[in-house]
């Protein structure tokens, strides 16, 4: 018999909440200013703290970015893999993936999406982490797309997936959350539009 996992103490919960707040603030600034032009003082100021206080949570700016990448990618990839593994017709699963990706970018993780999609990173080790996450992310979509269009020439499938990833990567650049299109409606519209690339010939 194994012991039940210990319930986090109030102090641990408070620390976890503060770390999550700092990661979101850092991700937002990294996306706006770039990694090289963002420092601990900038991130701390977002939460009315002093720069040195961040060393209680992160050993360096590199560590902060790594933690941002890890925590967000772990949750996002988990959500997408759960959808990809769900039963149902492959076309419906692929549409669900497209829809979920849009919601991740514009509703649930708007601060983090640019870290993986558009932000240049000058640190080779961190750039490698970003590339690994991108590959894992792409593989989820590609595996389901293969099931939708079995027999399609690999080069043609690659072209269509490139269109998909290009379209999804820039949604946060042009989407206005204050506009007339709610995130859910946007997600439905884009999911249908992108799915048409894979089912039009069937």
Which has more pLDDT, 4 or 141?
141
Spatial distance between the Cα atoms of 202 and 40, rounded to a whole number of angstroms: 53
Establish if 89 belongs to a structural domain.
yes
Domain count of the fold of the chain: 1
For 118-135, the pLDDT digits (tens) are 888 888 998 899 999 999
Establish if 5 belongs to a structural domain.
no
Spatial distance between the Cα atoms of 100 and 94, rounded to a whole number of angstroms: 10
Say what the pTM is.
0.85
Q: What is the CATH number of the domain that holds 167?
A: 1.10.357.10
Establish if 93 belongs to a structural domain.
yes
Q: pLDDT band at 84, cuts 50/70/90? A: very high
Six-digit token string for 199? 């089912």
What 31-38 contacts at long range (C-beta under 8 Å, 24+ apart), as own/partner pairs, is 31/111, 31/114, 31/115, 31/118, 31/119, 34/119, 34/120, 35/61, 35/65, 35/119, 35/120, 35/121, 35/122, 35/123, 35/126, 36/122
Establish if 178 belongs to a structural domain.
yes
Q: Which residue range(s) make up the domain with 146?
A: 10-199
Which has more pLDDT, 113 or 7?
113
Establish if 3 belongs to a structural domain.
no
What's the full length of the chain, in residues? 202
Six-digit token string for 8? 């986090």
Spatial distance between the Cα atoms of 172 and 113, rounded to a whole number of angstroms: 8
Establish if 2 belongs to a structural domain.
no
For residue 111, CA distances in Å to 11, 48, 105, 173, 196 come to 26, 19, 8, 12, 29
Q: pLDDT band at 9, cuts 50/70/90? A: confident
What integer pLDDT is reported at residue 5 of this predicted model? 61
What integer pLDDT is reported at residue 119 of this predicted model? 82
Spatial distance between the Cα atoms of 8 and 19, rounded to a whole number of angstroms: 15
Establish if 1 belongs to a structural domain.
no
């Amino acid at each position: 018999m194994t012991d039940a996992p210990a319930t986090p103490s109030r102090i641990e919960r408070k620390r976890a909440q503060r770390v999550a707040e700092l990661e979101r603030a850092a991700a937002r600034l990294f996306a706006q200013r770039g990694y090289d032009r963002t420092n601990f003082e900038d991130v701390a100021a977002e939460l009315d703290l002093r720069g040195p206080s961040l060393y209680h949570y992160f050993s360096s700016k590199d560590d902060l970015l790594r933690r941002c990448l890890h925590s967000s990618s772990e949750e996002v990839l988990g959500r997408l893999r759960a959808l990809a593994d769900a039963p149902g017709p492959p076309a419906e699963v692929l549409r669900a993936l497209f829809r979920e990706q849009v919601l991740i970018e514009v509703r649930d993780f708007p601060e983090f999406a640019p870290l993986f999609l558009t932000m240049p990173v000058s640190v080779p080790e961190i750039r490698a982490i970003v590339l690994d996450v991108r590959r894992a992310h792409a593989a989820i979509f590609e595996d389901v797309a293969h099931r939708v269009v079995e027999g399609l020439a690999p080069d043609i499938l690659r072209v269509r997936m490139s269109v998909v990833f290009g379209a999804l990567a820039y949604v946060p650049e042009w989407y206005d959350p204050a506009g007339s299109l709610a995130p859910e409606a946007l997600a439905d519209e884009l999911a249908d539009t992108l799915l048409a690339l894979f089912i039009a010939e069937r």
